Amino acid sequence: MQSGESKIMVKPEKNKSSTFLDGLSDVAVSKLEQSATSLHPDQDATIIHKGDKIGGAYLIKSGTLRVYTLDLNGNEKPIYRVSSGELCIFSVNCIFNKMLYPAWVRNETENTHIISIPTQSFQELYEKELWVRDYLVNSLSHRIFELMSSIEEVTTQDVGQRINSYLVRACPEDGILRIGHQDIARQLGTAREVVSRHLKSLEKQGLIELSRMKIKILLPKMLADTSALSPL
């Protein structure tokens, strides 16, 4: 992984939802503080390339990483995202099975902070901390569900339906997605022009409202009912 490195404090943050660090014992946190390394990659930087050798498990302290592969035409095909408080499951798989990294990873956000946990340290955590084993099982289950959902969307839905599904799934509580058309296209593995054309169609139908780097979801229930929408 490419970035500046430094030793760090890895104490869990209070008053936040449960993350990997939250369940560790004080002894485990103390050991991590001695062995873990802090990484601060630039926004939009490709920080891992397919075939790279991984030296440890990557925990996202803050920010979001995008894990993807490339098709024969060089187009990005998303696999999953790793957000604040989450472990990169591929990195864990690599260190346990002594494999090279099977995809590319790009940093999507500013001020991303990654904690790199050396292989030996993470293996010790896995052996001694029940929380780590439970966390990995739950994370793997979650990723498998995400991948199955993605496969189902690709094989059973057209591009327009996939865009609708993404908007509903990614919609925050305030109903405003702060994302560009190109970012949606990358996540769905399609062209920006296709996304823009479909979003304009949805806006004409009164389902969303478009502005710069924002998409306001007006009627999420109707948006989710793909059978009731005009085709792309």
**Structural domain boundaries enclosing 83:** 5-154
Q: What is the pLDDT of residue 146?
A: 77
Q: Which of 134, 154, 174 is the last residue of a domain?
A: 154
57 and 170, same domain (yes or no): no
Q: Looking at the structure, do residues 31 and 92 belong to the same domain, yes or no?
A: yes
- Give the global pTM: 0.69
Do 42 and 54 share a structural domain? yes
Q: 39 and 73 in contact (C-beta within 8 Å)?
A: no
Within-domain flag for 232: no
- Report the half-sphere exposure of 116 (CA within 13 A, side-chain side): 19
State the CATH number of the domain containing residue 183.
1.10.10.10
Are 170 and 114 contained in the same domain?
Answer: no
pLDDT of residue 230: 53
Q: In this predicted structure, what is the pLDDT of residue 170? A: 83
Q: Looking at residue 129, which CATH number applies to its domain?
A: 2.60.120.10
pLDDT given at position 157: 77
**How many structural domains are present in the chain?**
2
Q: Residue 145 domain-assigned? A: yes
Residue 88 confidence (pLDDT): 94
pLDDT per 10-residue tile (average), the chain, 232 residues: 51 58 90 92 95 94 92 81 92 94 94 95 94 91 80 77 88 88 86 94 94 92 68 50
Q: Is residue 177 part of a domain?
A: yes
Residue 166 and residue 150 share a domain? no
Q: Three-class SS of residue 183?
A: helix
Cα dihedral sign, 75-147-84-139 = negative
Q: Do 94 and 171 lie in a common domain?
A: no
Q: Are residues 57 and 87 in the same domain?
A: yes
Tell me how many helices (H) and strands (E) the chain has: 8, 11
Cβ–Cβ under 8 Å, residues 164 and 232? no
- Alpha-carbon dihedral of residues 86, 94, 133, 47, nearest 10 degrees? -10
pLDDT at 10: 56
